[in-house]
Amino acid sequence: MADTLLSRFLRYVQIDTQSDERSSSCPSTPGQWNLLRLLKAELDTLGAANVRLTDAGYLMATIPATNLPAATKKSGARSPRIQAPRLALFAHVDTAPDFSGKDVKPIVHSNYQGGAIKFPGNPRLLLDETVAPHLLDCKGKDIITASGTTLLGADDKAGVAILMTLAETLLTQPRIPHGDIRLCFTPDEEIGRGTDKLNLKDLDADVAYTLDGGTPGEISWETFSGDAAVVEIEGTSTHPGEAGTKGMVSALHLAAKLLCALPREKCAPESTTGRQGFIHPTRIEAGVEKATIKFILRDFQMPGLEEKGRILQGLCKGLQAATPGARVSCKIRKQYRNMAYWLEKDMRPVDLARQAIRSIGIEPTDHPVRGGTDGSRLTESGLPAPNLFAGMHNIHGPLEWVALQDMELSVKTCVKLAEIWGSATSR
């Protein structure tokens, strides 16, 4: 398994699949199509059933159920098998636009023995236990990084490689008992559109998991709730030499004032941890005449999320009042909600994930996600979808890394999940 999983992962990360929120297409970038078409061809070759790539860039396939024995009655007669819940497993093909994903050069650090890992493309970078504590548990493992000039793309090509290896494992080993399993590879998760055009009726699943997490054993059934905000500032442009007498109002200057007014000590991502939320400006386009600032708002609880919206809107109203010559608007829209609001009503998907993880010799841990996954929106839409570990660390930047053996543990967990759900009964 190791060679197959590794070779898949190394191939996938070298395909540039960064998503782009400025694009209106789905997927938002051509590179995602390249990987999706490659995966489709590989699934066809493996013998998966119902392999289909939709016009919107969703790749779905079925691993057909094995012939499981029917239940035996006390009389000795065999009763018809009760249909097992249909399990769906998700991974997203895009990588984050936060840092370059072009020309990724993966490096395998075999049999890691501790100490700092250096990057040939950027000698100033060091990966050690101060920025990656899990490295302390990785002696003897094979660590994979990029070269220092790009992100690695383990988020979520680790998940993609894991699911493709799972597919090969189950399709070539029919003695492993399981029900129908649906695989789904989604585009544009990193820009919040991962399930926008997914038809859940086409997916036809009862329960799901996303493979988009970190340390082995982690189960994420709580996420941030998220909103997006766009602030637009309209100023008045004049020649700067006459600005003092002609009434220049610089939208760029006002945008800077707004950003400086944000309460960084309690609302900046770099100043918050744990269950604290934040207000995070992600992009600014500004000149004298007009400025546009995009924000993401995050909190685990709805009252906290709503408060952050009020803070931002209040700052915009104050800026407007102080500068009557400008026009300042703030529009907030919903992105996703904490999956715990639904999962805590029925913890069966979480409990069976814990059972699967324990069965491979790892103690499961609950890991609230300071972000969102496709599972957040899937769960809200009626398909419960906790997030499972895929081994990725330090994502969205040049220090991103993954251990091959951690990805192997994820494959084994998914095999056990398939067996467990295959023996379960629908409610």
Q: Which residues are catalytic?
A: 94, 189
Inter-residue contact 146 to 105 (CB < 8 Å): yes
- What would the 3-class secondary structure string for the chain be? CHHHHHHHHHHHHCCCCECCCCCCCCCCCHHHHHHHHHHHHHHHHHCCEEEEECCCCCEEEEECCCCCCCCECCCCCECCCCCCCCEEEEEECCECCCCCCCCCCCEEECCCCCCCEECCCCCCCEECCCCCHHHHHCCCCCEEECCCCCCCCHHHHHHHHHHHHHHHHHHHCCCCCCCCEEEEEECCHHHCCCCCCCCHHHHCCCEEEEEEECCCCEEECCECEEEEEEEEEECECCCHHHHHHHCCECHHHHHHHHHHHCCHHHHCHHHCCCCCCEEEEEEEEECCCEEEEEEEEEECCHHHHHHHHHHHHHHHHHHHHHCCCCEEEEEEEEEECCCHHHHCCCCHHHHHHHHHHHHCCCCCEECCECCCCHHHHHHHCCCCCCEEECCEECCCCCCCEEEHHHHHHHHHHHHHHHHHHHCCCCC
Backbone angles phi, psi at 268, to 5 degrees: -85, 140
* Count of other CB atoms within 10 angstroms of residue 403: 26
